[in-house]
Amino acid sequence: MNIDNKLPWLLQKKHIAHIEGDHLLIGDRRRYPWEHSYVACSSVAQIAQAIAEMVTQGGGPLQVGLTTMRFLAKKIEAGHESNALTSFASAVELLAAARPTNTTMRRTLERFLKHLQPWYANDSSQKSLITFVGSIIDAIEAGFDADYQQMSDHGSLLITNNAGILTTCFAEHTFILSLIKAREQGKNFTVYVPETRPYLQGARLTAPALVELGLQVQLITDGMGAHFMGQGAITHYMTAADVVAMDGTVVNKTGTLANAICAQYYQIPYTVFAMSPDPSIHTASDIVMEERDGKEVLYVNGKLTTLESITGRYPAFDCIDPALISHIITPKGLAFPHEIDSLYGQREK
Amino acid sequence: MNIDNKLPWLLQKKHIAHIEGDHLLIGDRRRYPWEHSYVACSSVAQIAQAIAEMVTQGGGPLQVGLTTMRFLAKKIEAGHESNALTSFASAVELLAAARPTNTTMRRTLERFLKHLQPWYANDSSQKSLITFVGSIIDAIEAGFDADYQQMSDHGSLLITNNAGILTTCFAEHTFILSLIKAREQGKNFTVYVPETRPYLQGARLTAPALVELGLQVQLITDGMGAHFMGQGAITHYMTAADVVAMDGTVVNKTGTLANAICAQYYQIPYTVFAMSPDPSIHTASDIVMEERDGKEVLYVNGKLTTLESITGRYPAFDCIDPALISHIITPKGLAFPHEIDSLYGQREK
């Protein structure tokens, strides 16, 4: 089943990334919602740079990474790149290094490389490289789609009628499918969307995507979550996760920690959608926390908010203590934070 | 002693409001720090409108209100307004209604009206109206200056060496004088300034004012306070208050509540500077909480952050439970929240 039909424009695979002629086109989330435009990349280096510059973000780089493997196979068959497993391995390295904190793309592409090995081992493979790579990526994408479906079944059941759901940043497929299914179950709810400075992913991505689906949305500033919790308007807090450690520590966009602490203060459940807990990360101290250029905090959509001489700080992510989290929804089901280790605490197959 | 010499440009009385010819000029905080400009008002109605449009905010309207009384006396003597106590009373009503939550200006101007009564009662006053009004306002201003001095003595002593001080919005005289005095006491510290969306008072007012004084400033987004608390970088939280109720409830700019909850979670003291606890307000339920037009959340400095069709919410203030507050610094000294009633719980003299 193609879940793209249910999803808003922004999350449909072809609008995250697709190949057109000699280029890989990445949906430009910096220009959405005003423009539905793409950044065209002609090399893996350009793709990695686009990811570093946050043309796409959150779960976007994963889909871009998968599409890049198809793109590279095409370039190799056209004779523009050397036909070796190391071409793919270097591409994976370059893409994974573009943003250091979220390791889902890196681990997924490393899985891809393992599946690719047989093609190079048996030189006489009956399939073309493009077809072989395509079938691996198709299977990986189908696996993620199945995970989205299963996880959003859980998510939708946690949403109660007349809920007020706070989120942070852009929680993508699992969260948005949960909302779609909750509505299909006849539930009424309002989603409170913090704008998510400095990049405004909440204002620019989440709010328009939910409005496109006909859902009730209230856009607020990043400091207002506690206000609406205190009024009783917010009853649920739900986010995605960029990293989940084996001890249940969650890493997500800056601003998540404050809302998680306030949710606990008001006894509001905090649910995390975690596509892929990372078995190599045991606790918070194993996580590479990205700090971006503080200058970015001084701008809104390219316009200066203060004097240019002011020093800004931009920790891209928060690290959230497991004690602040009510449930983590994973591809292996709904878990309490302390259960993550028993579900994922070993090498991935 | 004139405290204006110590203060940053923005807080010097003449830059908050002054009279020039037929106009009262209000320092335009919406254009600062890029411009040092004024909005010229030729009537009390225009002044009230400027306050509603947040040309000035926080403690600004109080100084504007005081200067408006001098302005009105001048207009009356020039024969442009009817010479009656009711002219002043209507002006006070108009100004006080411009922003409903903060009652300091209203109560200060009502005090002014009481002091003005004798002039109208003894028609043959030896002083001109301008001189009489001027002497009342001079005394009120001197009283506030003395309060700023005394309160900032307390504030400075709470700041420890190598402190990281988080604030919210623009905490004005008492906070900034506390920082100045702490530095004079030889202490080193960094001030973490959340930008304070939607109006960016932190980015536009607080950060430039502190940098003008040569203090160390880090500008962050409104969701990052907890992040730096968790890292141990923030050791103190200090804000002004728009209202303080007799039970110790504090009202301050939206975003204050989330930081106060997170400060308690990390056992960081939260200190509130309260110019004038309001004896007529007993608990949170007596406070008029202003909700401004939600459209304002969709803009940054006049530029749209999302689709114009999105619904925004803009509660201007947070209400903070006394249990979240460590100390309240008042003109009557440093108090715990539960002591406010015994200090202020009666009609003001």
Task: Identify which of B203, B219, B223 has the shortest CB distance to residue A258.
Answer: B223
Yes or no, beta carbons of A219 and B258 under 8 Å apart: no
pLDDT for the residue numbered B125: 65
Instruction: Work out whether strand B38-41 and strand B23-27 pair parallel, antiparallel, or are unpaired.
Output: antiparallel
pLDDT for the residue numbered A1: 59
**What tokens does A79 get?**
């004779």
A308 pairs with which residues across the strands?
none
Length reported for chain B: 349
Q: B263 CB near a chain A CB, below 8 Å?
A: no
pLDDT for the residue numbered A160: 98
pLDDT for the residue numbered B2: 75
What does the DSSP 8-state code read for residue B339? G
**Band of residue B258 on the pLDDT scale cut at 50, 70, 90:** very high
pLDDT for the residue numbered A349: 39
| φ, ψ for residue A306, nearest 5 deg | -155, -170
Contacts of B200 in chain A (CB under 8 A): 305-306
Report the chain B residue with the minimal C-alpha distance to residue A221.
B197
- Smallest CA–CA distance, residue A313 to chain B, in Å, is 6
pLDDT for the residue numbered A100: 82
- Smallest CA–CA distance, residue B194 to chain A, in Å, is 9
pLDDT digits (tens, 9 = 90+) for A160-209: 999 999 999 999 999 999 999 999 999 999 999 999 999 999 999 999 99
Yes or no, beta carbons of B230 and A257 under 8 Å apart: yes
Yes or no, beta carbons of A310 and B203 under 8 Å apart: yes
Task: Identify which of A195, A224, A311 has the shortest CB distance to residue B305.
Answer: A195
Distance CA B102, CA B60 (A): 11
Residue type, A280: S
DSSP result, B127-172: S-HHHHHHHHHHHHHHHHHHHHHHHHHHHHHHPPTTEEEE--S--H
Q: Dihedral through CA A51, CA A57, CA A63, CA A67, nearest 10?
A: -20
Write b or e for each residue in A309-321: b if 16 or more Cβ atoms lie within 10 A of its Cβ, otherwise e. ebbbbbbbbbbbb
Contacts of B36 in chain A (CB under 8 A): none
Q: A146 CB near a chain B CB, below 8 Å?
A: no
What does the DSSP 8-state code read for residue B206? I
Q: A191 CB near a chain B CB, below 8 Å?
A: no
A240 pairs with which residues across the strands?
A273
Distance CA A2, CA B17 (A): 63
pLDDT for the residue numbered B312: 98
Residue type, B213: L
pLDDT digits (tens, 9 = 90+) for B215-229: 999 999 999 999 999
Beta carbons within 10 angstroms of residue B86's beta carbon: 10
Determine which of A200, A310, A314 to mutate to test the interface with B (most B C-beta atoms within 10 Å).
A310
Distance CA B91, CA B346 (A): 26
3-state secondary structure of B292: strand
Q: Which CATH number fits domain A153-344: 3.30.565.10, 3.40.630.40, 3.40.50.10470, 3.40.50.12280?
A: 3.40.50.10470
Contacts of B265 in chain A (CB under 8 A): 261, 264-265
Q: A309 CB near a chain B CB, below 8 Å?
A: yes
- Smallest CA–CA distance, residue A177 to chain B, in Å, is 20
Q: B227 CB near a chain A CB, below 8 Å?
A: yes
- Locate CATH 1.20.120.420 in chain B: 3-146
pLDDT for the residue numbered A327: 97
Yes or no, beta carbons of B297 and A220 under 8 Å apart: yes
| φ, ψ for residue B43, nearest 5 deg | -150, 165
Distances from the Cα of B65 to the Cα of A346, B54, B104, B348, angstroms: 68, 14, 10, 19
Distance CA A13, CA A3 (A): 10
Q: A221 CB near a chain B CB, below 8 Å?
A: yes
Q: Which CATH number fits domain B154-344: 3.10.310.30, 3.20.10.10, 3.40.50.10470, 3.40.640.10?
A: 3.40.50.10470
- Locate CATH 3.40.50.10470 in chain A: 153-344
**What tokens does B32 get?**
């600062």
What does the DSSP 8-state code read for residue A159? P
Distance CA A37, CA A32 (A): 8
Yes or no, beta carbons of B262 and A259 under 8 Å apart: no
- Smallest CA–CA distance, residue A328 to chain B, in Å, is 21
Write b or e for each residue in A257-272: b if 16 or more Cβ atoms lie within 10 A of its Cβ, otherwise e. bbbbbbbbbbebebbb
Determine which of B169, B231, B305 to mutate to test the interface with A (most A C-beta atoms within 10 Å).
B305
Q: What is the pTM assigned to this prediction?
A: 0.93
Residue type, B260: A
**Using CB atoms and an 8 Å cut-off, which of residues 38-97 of chain A contact chain B?**
none
pLDDT for the residue numbered A67: 98
Contacts of A269 (CB under 8 A, 6+ apart): A158, A236, A237, A263, A326, A327
Q: List strand residue ranges (DSSP E) for A127-204, in order.
A: 163-166, 189-194
pLDDT digits (tens, 9 = 90+) for B89-101: 999 999 999 988 8
Task: Identify which of A34, A203, A227 has the shortest CB distance to residue B254.
Answer: A227
Query: Cβ distance A49 to A26 under 8 Å?
Result: no
Burial of B101 (0-12, 13-18, 19+ CB in 10 A): middle
Q: Please, what CATH class does the domain formed by A3-146 belong to? A: mainly alpha
pLDDT for the residue numbered A348: 44
Angle of CA points B107, B110, B111, to nearest 5°: 90
**What tokens does B50 get?**
């400027």
Phi-psi region of B21 (alpha: psi -120 to 50; beta: other; left: phi over 0): left
Determine which of A10, A169, A227, A308 to mutate to test the interface with B (most B C-beta atoms within 10 Å).
A227
**What tokens does B79 get?**
């024969």
Q: B252 CB near a chain A CB, below 8 Å?
A: no
Q: A8 CB near a chain B CB, below 8 Å?
A: no
Say how many CB pairs under 8 Å bridge A and B: 193
Distance CA B78, CA B96 (A): 25
Query: Cβ distance B315 to A227 under 8 Å?
Result: yes
pLDDT digits (tens, 9 = 90+) for B164-183: 999 999 999 999 999 999 99
Residue B349 has pLDDT above 50, yes or no: no
Report the chain A residue with the minimal C-alpha distance to residue B34.
A307
Contacts of B314 in chain A (CB under 8 A): 221
- DSSP H stretches of helix in chain B: 13-16, 44-52, 60-77, 85-97, 104-121, 129-158, 172-184, 201, 207-212, 225-230, 256-265, 340-344
**Mean pLDDT across chain B:** 95
* CA dihedral sign, ordered B48, B49, B51, B52: positive
Bond from prior residue into A33 cis (ω within 30 degrees of 0): yes
Determine which of B199, B310, B317 to mutate to test the interface with A (most A C-beta atoms within 10 Å).
B310
3-state secondary structure of B348: coil
Report the chain A residue with the minimal C-alpha distance to residue B255.
A223
Contacts of B303 in chain A (CB under 8 A): 300-301, 303
Residue B14 has pLDDT above 70, yes or no: yes
- Smallest CA–CA distance, residue B219 to chain A, in Å, is 4
Beta carbons within 10 angstroms of residue B89's beta carbon: 14
Residue B113 has pLDDT above 90, yes or no: yes
pLDDT for the residue numbered B231: 96
Under-70 pLDDT residues of chain A? 1, 123-125, 347-349
Alpha carbon B216 to chain centroid, angstroms: 23
**What tokens does A227 get?**
């206000």
pLDDT digits (tens, 9 = 90+) for B22-77: 999 999 999 999 999 999 999 999 999 999 999 999 889 999 999 999 999 999 99
Beta carbons within 10 angstroms of residue A349's beta carbon: 5
Q: A227 CB near a chain B CB, below 8 Å?
A: yes
Query: Which of A74-80's residues contact partners 24+ apart within 8 Å by CB, and which partners?
Result: A74/A19, A74/A130, A76/A129, A77/A128, A77/A129, A77/A130
Yes or no, beta carbons of B303 and A300 under 8 Å apart: yes
Yes or no, beta carbons of A309 and B258 under 8 Å apart: no
**Using CB atoms and an 8 Å cut-off, which of residues 165-184 of chain A contact chain B?**
168
**Band of residue B295 on the pLDDT scale cut at 50, 70, 90:** very high
ipTM of this model? 0.92
Residue B348 has pLDDT above 70, yes or no: no
Yes or no, beta carbons of B306 and A219 under 8 Å apart: yes
pLDDT for the residue numbered B115: 97
Contacts of A310 in chain B (CB under 8 A): 203, 207-208, 211, 217, 219
Phi-psi region of A298 (alpha: psi -120 to 50; beta: other; left: phi over 0): alpha
Q: B206 CB near a chain A CB, below 8 Å?
A: no
**What tokens does B280 get?**
């007529």
DSSP result, A229-296: HHTT---EEEEE-SEE-TTS-EEEETTHHHHHHHHHHTT--EEEE-S---TT--SGGGS---EE-GGG
pLDDT for the residue numbered B1: 59
